[in-house]
Chains A and B, each alone.
Chain A
Amino acid sequence: MSTHLQKRYRRQRWFVAVSRVTILLALLFLVGLIVSIVGRGWSGFFRGEVQITVALPETVLENSGKVRASVYKKLIHKALLTDFEQHGITDAGSLENIIGFQGALKLRQLVRKDPDSIGRTITTWLPAGKFADGYLKGDLSTQTLVELQVEPDLIRYFEILDRSNKGRMVFNWSFFTLGDSSQPDTAGIGGALAGSFYMLLLTFVLSFPTAILAAVYLELFAPKNRWFDLVEININNLAAVPSIIFGLLGLAVFINLMGVPRSTPLVGGMVLALMTLPTIVISARAAIKAVPETLLAGAMSLGATRMQGVFHHVLPAAMPGVLTGTIIGMAQALGETAPLILIGMVAFIHHIPAGPMEAATALPVQIYLWADNPLRGFAERSAAAIMVLLAFLMIMNISAVLLRKKLEVKW
């Protein structure tokens, strides 16, 4: 083989190697992204609990319905101090680090549910305080605690909890049910999930029928002339308009001009519907185009009108493709953040919205808010919320693929 030819082959091998490395890099990035998010976020789904034996004296807990949580906290801390004596612990610093306000709330809830326990001493599991939570989940090692200059006695107590099986890690269901909070340990995505749900529902209701009807018209009824070329160009361009522009539209027209209440899933759903519309129209048109013309001709030869032929035969045949496109459009809408910020869905909202007219936030916006919060612990919540978001998107995309496979008709 000539040296020139060898050189040419070498060049080709180089290119193939470089492209493989490129693909590997992309893969590595994806893995890095996932590892970085899961590594940070997993602990958000769990919380530590400490077992405690606490006395509930009648004298303080008379009228248990009105007793404040701080009273329970004092009882808990008294119980902790008793436990300390047994283990010879003298200076463990703030007891909030072992069982804090959350624990007091939980204890109060238990007592209210079972008033008979008043006057007795009960043993129960309570949510751990800040450092105990970190220690039990393995987020904070003994060494990190030392570096954080935590009292040595506190660390010793954590080790005792560990050894006597009085500390455990449980799944944190409240992450899914609580609303936003100024403290990371009481912050949940419940409100954001509800907001996103109402918004997606509205987006679907508004955009899906409109998009299908528009696609049917453009594909099967519209005259072929310059005017409709323009409509087509318009739709293709609309699909490529930056999402933030839709936020400006929502702010100026829906909120300012039409008076739709700010920060609500209603206005969010309207904005996302307009944004998703071109995406669904484009995929629905492709699906309708793929249906052979003979189907419509056949229906019409049996005496059906064009309209009947389209709605009885062509559209049902195109449905799998239309639905797949819709799910993908919905997935995009679910992950969209920027326009929602502009229409006020970034407000701090603690309660969980009960309907689309109540102020709410959305899952991706909640991620943004927490990621931006400098308080220790919020970045972890943010990563955990990303995991939930990605799980939803994965379910949507997989169902789109399955739907296509299952319903696809080969022509």
Chain B
Amino acid sequence: MAIRERALLGVLILATSMAVVTTIGIVAAILVESLRFFSIIDPSSFFFGTLWSPQIAIREDQAGAAGSFGFIPLLVGTLLITLISLAVAVPMGLAIAVYLSEFASSRTRGQIKPILEILAGIPTIVYGFFALVTLSPILRDLGAELGVEVAGESALAAGLVMGMMLIPFIASLSEDALFAVPDSLRHGAIGLGSTQLEATARVIIPASLPGIAAGILLASSRAIGETMIVVMAAGIAAHLTINPLEAVTTVTVQIVTLLIGDQEFDDPKTLAAFALGLSLFALTLVLNIIALHIVKRYRQSYE
């Protein structure tokens, strides 16, 4: 019996280690291929280069020499779209969370939460389709009406739709944070003659700010790593611009573009995707770790 139990415990440990092995696998895979990339392409020209044009490198006779792998335009494009999406999702998500948690009756809450859950359950490919076939043409026509030129694949369209995708995410994380604030603080503020809004804005939101901030960080990490919306609605060509009406490209779009055909593992084009993956992983990991750390400490502080 004891042997069987021991064997079973071994199986449990093995299963648990899968999660660790996965992380190690991810880090090792992208690190190894990235190092191979950086042995061909100078890291400083990657991280500080302002021109992204990997196509040239496929010419056989100058495989290592040519092709421009400047990361900056991709980073700027990614951050631009992320910022647009946060500009939509943070105020809207927060307003919904505050309304549901502090103002709405439980009946209203019961009616509205399913809507948010539906929005949260829609795959991003569907949002991407909507951005591509519905929102982009609308924005272009609207721009034409107003006399502004909006690119067919604009940062704005991708950012707006991504913002919509993030609303339920931010709303639900913020609501959790607001929920964690003890009622004694609400009563304290109300007891001093605050209106509901004053109690919320001056006491409850400040008290839940760490949780809300963590939610926003997690949302940014999601926006940065989101792929399908930008693949369908943002551009492929890398323009270094912060004009939301122009087409920009993102880190994830370029990973997809570089890897969609046949992949040769000695081609800097293929390897560049892993260098991009490494940057993406590092960026989102930092955001996630900070956010999850805040969430954990914040939860403890009210327990």
Query: What residues make up the interface of A, taking CB atoms closer than 8 Å to B?
Result: 8-9, 11-12, 15-16, 18-20, 22-23, 25-27, 29-30, 32-33, 36-37, 40, 209-214, 216-218, 221-222, 231, 233-238, 240-249, 251-253, 256, 274, 277-278, 281, 305, 307, 331, 334-338, 341-342, 346, 364, 367-368, 371-372, 379, 382-383, 386, 389-390, 393, 397
Contacts and interface: CB of A to CB of B under 8 A. Distances in A.
Interface string B32-62: 1100000000000000000000000000000
Contacts of A274: 18, 22
A244 B277 contact: yes
Contacts of A37: 126, 129-130
Interface of B: 1, 5, 8-9, 11-16, 18-20, 22-23, 25-26, 29-30, 32-33, 91-92, 95-96, 98-99, 103, 112, 115-119, 121-130, 132-134, 164, 167-168, 195-198, 218, 221-222, 224-228, 231-232, 252, 255-256, 259-260, 263, 265, 273-274, 277, 280-281, 284-285, 288-289, 292
Contact of B255 (A16, A36, A277, A342): A342
A385 B166 CA distance: 24
Contact of A237 (B224, B227, B255, B285): B285
A338 B228 contact: yes
A40 B133 contact: yes
A245 B225 contact: yes
Given A36-B133, A213-B15, A397-B121, A342 B256 contact: yes
B260 A337 contact: no
Contact of A210 (B18, B23, B228, B280): B18
Contacts, number: 235
- Centre residue among A212, A222, A243, A244 by max chain B CB count within 10 A: A244
Nearest to A35: B134
Contact of A390 (B8, B11, B122, B292): B122
B15 A242 contact: no
A13 B291 CA distance: 33
A253 B20 CA distance: 15
A29 B164 contact: yes
Specify the main secondary structure of chain B where it touches its partner: helix
A341 B225 CA distance: 15
A176 B279 CA distance: 41
A48 B18 CA distance: 52
Contacts of B14: 213
A249 B26 contact: yes
Contacts of A382: 129
Contacts of B15: 209-214, 217
A241 B115 contact: no
A213 B16 contact: yes
B214 to A, nearest CB: 11
Contacts of A331: 121
B121 A237 contact: no
A236 B20 CA distance: 11
A25 B92 CA distance: 9
A238 B16 contact: no
